[in-house]
Each structure stands twice: as structure tokens, then as C-alpha cells.
Amino acid sequence: MQQITPCISQSSNTTTMSRSRFSTPLKRALLQPSSQLSHHPPTSLLPLPLRARLTITTTTTDPNPPESAFTSLPSKPPPTSTATPSPPLPTHPPTSHHLPHPTTTTTPPTTPPLLPLLAAQPPHYITAHLHARPYLLTHGDTLRLPFHLPHAPPGTTLRLNRASTLGSRDYTFRGAPWIDEELFVCRARVVGVEGEPMRWVRKTKRRQRRVKTVGSKMRCTVLRVCELRVLSGGGEGGEG
């Protein structure tokens, strides 16, 4: 039993050495690039499975290729610069993009056909408006305004140009809503300024015992209608 053991170990060493001999060129062939496959050992040394997979392709390049292999492109003639002068651009005067303003034409007021008959029948009455309050007036009336005109001292003549009704005994002219001021003349003169008697007002606040007494004395402007005419000719020159 002791003599058989070294023989088995020697045979195993020979098999490993033969495997290493075949595996070394195989590893080199796989690790080297494809350009060096021509220097590899013949494929007969490789195992059968790798012979079917491994194919060696060699390409040879001729150092002196024939002239027919090269194709020359047709040469193009150099471009000639024949620049034609471009026509000048048309110049337009600067135009404004703003729309033209519409022209407003003022038409003269049309004279009602019955206005001469109204002017020929005095006395006349008028409904004048002062601070959105209407007042029915006629020539010689005295008007006591419920407010004071601080810029109209006594002796000042005012023209009342806002009227909604103008009439006589048989005719009435109504505006829509106002009558044109060129069809009548109504003037009033400031006669004086009147003051109301002193009024005392007691003022207090909620939840307070303090009572404040304030005196109030209002002033009013008094006017007298001194002129009232109907203009049948559409101007101050025409008098009815």
C-alpha cells in the first residue's frame, strides 16, 4: 500500500502540467486584441468547442493601389462675382398711426314754428332751475333763495340760463330736458341778503350727561326778476 501512493501522485502531476500547457495559449488568445490573432498558435491546439466559435479574419492592404481605385470629383468653376446693383428702396413719408379726430359740426338751434306766437303774447312765465331746484317765476317776482351766494353781493345782475318750461297764457314751450338759452333771456338782480332769527340747538351724545347748546343763524340771498323775454329770431336782438 505504501508503494502505490507515489505513483498516483505522479500521474496527477502530469495531468495538471498538460492542462496548464493547453490553458496558457488559450488565455493569451482571448486576452490579446483581434489585430494580433495571426500570431496565435493554430486552432488545432484549441479544444473543439472553441474551434467552432473562434474565426480568424485577416485583411491585407495593398501599399500601391491602382489609380482606377480613386474617383475624382468633377471640378467646379470658381464663382464669379457679378453683383447687380439692387434697386433703391422706396421711401415713404412718415405716417402717423393715430386715427384722425372726428370733426364736430355745430348746427344752429332750430326755431320752433310756434315760438313767434309765444313771443307775441306777453306776459311770460318761466321755470328756472338753481342748484337743481325749480322756481316758477315771472317778470317782477322776488325770489328768496334758501341759501347764500357769497360771490354775489347786492346789486349784482345774474342771468338764469337753465330753464325747463317757458310759456304764456295760450302757449307752453317745454325743453328736453332744457330749453336752449339762445331762445330766451331771464335776468335777476341781487336785492339783498337776509338773515333768519337765531336758533338754538341742544346737542348731546349717548351715555353722556354733557349737553352742548349751539346757535344757528342762516343767511339767504334775495333776487328780483328784472327781465324776461322770448327771442323769436333766435338771438338777443330779436324781441317778442
Residue-wise pLDDT for 2-29, tens only, equals: 444 444 444 445 455 555 555 566 667 6
By CB neighbour count within 10 A (0-12 exposed, 13-18 middle, 19+ buried), where does 66 fall?
exposed
Distances (CA, A) of 233 to 11, 135, 159: 153, 26, 19
Distances (CA, A) of 114 to 110, 111, 139, 161, 228: 12, 8, 22, 21, 18
State pLDDT tens for residues 221-240.
999 999 999 998 656 654 43
Residue 140: which region, alpha, beta or left (left: phi > 0; alpha: psi -120 to 50)? Answer: left
More confident residue, 54 or 191: 191
| Distance of alpha carbon 60 from alpha carbon 58, whole angstroms | 7
| Distance of alpha carbon 226 from alpha carbon 188, whole angstroms | 5
Angle made by CA atoms 110, 113, 115, in degrees to the nearest 5 = 90
Reduced to 3 states (helix: H, G, I; strand: E, B; else coil), residue 193 is: strand
| Distance of alpha carbon 13 from alpha carbon 224, whole angstroms | 152
| pLDDT the model gives residue 2 | 44
Band of residue 62 on the pLDDT scale cut at 50, 70, 90 = low
Of 33-42, 116-125, 227-236, the one with minimum mean pLDDT is 33-42
pTM confidence score? 0.51
State pLDDT tens for residues 170-191.
999 999 999 999 999 999 999 9
State pLDDT tens for residues 196-211.
999 999 999 999 999 9
| pLDDT the model gives residue 231 | 92
The percent of the chain in helix, strand and coil, each rounded to the nearest 5, is: 20, 25, 50
| pLDDT the model gives residue 116 | 93
Reply yes or no on whether the pLDDT at 164 is more than 60.
yes
Average pLDDT, rounded, for the chain: 75
Question: How do beta strands 211-216 and 199-204 pair?
Answer: antiparallel
Closest Cα partner for 163 from 137, 145, 142? Answer: 137
* Residue 116: half-sphere exposure toward Cβ, Cα within 13 Å: 2
| pLDDT the model gives residue 8 | 44
- The helix (run of H) or strand (run of E) holding residue 48 is helix 48-53
Give, as one character, the DSSP assignment of residue 33. Answer: -
Give, as one character, the DSSP assignment of residue 140. Answer: T
pLDDT > 90 fraction of the chain, expressed in percent and rounded: 48
Residue 136 neighbours by CB under 8 Å, 6+ apart = 125, 126, 127
Band of residue 111 on the pLDDT scale cut at 50, 70, 90 = confident
Residue 191 neighbours by CB under 8 Å, 6+ apart = 142, 154, 222, 223, 224
